Structure 1
Amino acid sequence: MNNNNKPYRNIPGTTVFDGEMARIGFHLNQFCMSLMKEANRKTFKQNERAYLDKWRMTEAQKSAVLARDFNQLIALGGNIYYLVKISSSDGLSVAAAVSTMTNLTTEEYIEMMRCGGRSPEGNRFIDAKQYEDKKPEEKQ
């Protein structure tokens, strides 16, 4: 369920949405896409748990939706482009939703992005030496 054995596992705080994650999150992401229809959003907001139970999602995925834990949803196969449908159903902007994935307020997050985003220092690789020792063809 995780990307630990992938060549891109060495990026701190990043879950790469690859084929494996797409399979894991298929029903979660289908649920999110259902929220594009107003009738489905209304049904979801009336009884979130009952609406979630209509989907073949794991209990962990359902719990993360109810908690609006976007970091956990990504770890469970959610694609951020689909997950924002949940926050939109709550009336939140994308910036407000994404800021919940950081230790920043919405305003602080927006300001950070206006200033060029987070610094790459310390955020490129967990072990840069391990990556640098590889031959160029192994760095894919």
Structure 2
Amino acid sequence: MPLDKPYLDVPGTTIFDADQSRKGYWLNQFCMSLMKAANRERFKKDERAYLDEWAMTEEQKQAVLARDLNRCIALGGNIYFLAKIGATDGKSFQQMAGSMTGLSEEAYRDMMINGGRSPEGNRYLHEKK
């Protein structure tokens, strides 16, 4: 019996629930492998070859290669696991988050210091009808 998921009605928000976890299992396992220096080196040497060792979908692999973190999340990636890719690339979490919002690192930092994104326009989809 499917669960009621009222959070699916929030625009621009992907909740990492059990379904997302199942969808992204191998993507997230790949990310966790990057905690070992030897694996980071192998990945940096030939990203495609390393990704092909994992039972990820082609779409997940392409999202990683493009460093499209928003797409990775839509495909089941968990941001805390995906942070391992950023760390492998020498990026801070703040740089990664900025890239996901279309803002520079500085603009993202300033937005967060000033209280975050405005809730205007970020309501439930059913309220926009």
TM-score range, shorter chain: over 0.9
1:71-130: per-residue Cα shift (whole Å, max 9, x none)?
100000000000010011000000101111112111000000111110111113122378
Count of matched residue pairs: 126
What does 1:1-140 align with in structure 2 at a 5 Å threshold? Answer: 6-128=5-127
Residue identity opposite 2:44 in structure 1 = K
More helix by share: 2
The alpha carbon displacement at 1:62 in A equals: 0.3
Identity across the alignment (%): 60
* Distance in 1, Cα, partners of 2:18 & 2:33: 21
* Distance in 2, Cα, partners of 1:64 & 1:72: 6
Instruction: Give 1 or 2 for the bigger CA radius of gyration.
Output: 1
Structure 2 stretches lacking a partner, 5+ long: none
* Distance in 1, Cα, partners of 2:63 & 2:128: 35
* Distance in 2, Cα, partners of 1:80 & 1:124: 22
